[in-house]
Amino acid sequence: MKNISKSTIAGLTAAILGLSLSFPSLADDDSDRKEKRAEIRAQFDADGDGELNDTERQAAREAFKAKRKERIDTDGNGEISDAERTAAKETRRAKMLEKFDADGDGQLNDAEKQAAKEKHRKRMAKRFDLDGDGELSETERNAAKQAREKHRERRQENRQSDSNS
């Protein structure tokens, strides 16, 4: 077996510690999600029953689509061009780098990608783990898959409505 010098061990330890400390944004943001949902409910719950019915939910979606379009449509012409869409993607990419690029090289390496995936997995588990056992049952996994499909469909609808306006 090779002898490993103390300086190599110290260097590796420092690198591991540095990586672990550079991911403070990996803390669960569930409280932010709950606050945001409460704000949305307060804003769009027209009948005051504490829940959003289909009509209220649709009004919220339309308001968010309009807000998104306003944010992305930088030239203000009411349409989202390919250049504006590309710029929005770059903004999202920059946010991901800011959040997960621990070594600051402008790219996500395998460990950083894994950290991003793990954060997403934890968020999804927290959201869909209804029995609180820390694992997703088949029923909970199916609910997560359905939610993901619904989300993808809405994104596709948004893209189509963006290109039609």
Which residues are CB-neighbours of 102 under 8 A, at least 6 positions away? 18, 19, 22, 23, 111, 112, 115
In order of 17, 22, 54, 130, 144, the CA distances from 112 in angstroms are 14, 10, 39, 29, 24
Tell me if 98 is assigned to some domain: yes
Per the structure, the count of domains in the chain is 1
Contact 149, 139 (CB under 8 A): no
- How far apart, in whole angstroms, are the C-alpha atoms of residue 146 and residue 152? 10
Tell me if 1 is assigned to some domain: no
Which residues are CB-neighbours of 106 under 8 A, at least 6 positions away? 97
Q: Give the model's pLDDT for residue 30.
A: 60
Domain with 14 in it: 6-164
Q: Give the model's pLDDT for residue 46.
A: 92
Q: Give the model's pLDDT for residue 130.
A: 87
Q: Digits of tens for pLDDT over the chain (165 positions)?
A: 445 555 555 444 444 444 443 434 434 456 677 888 889 889 999 999 988 899 998 999 889 888 888 888 899 898 889 999 899 999 999 999 999 999 999 999 999 999 999 998 888 888 888 888 888 889 998 998 998 898 888 888 877 766 665
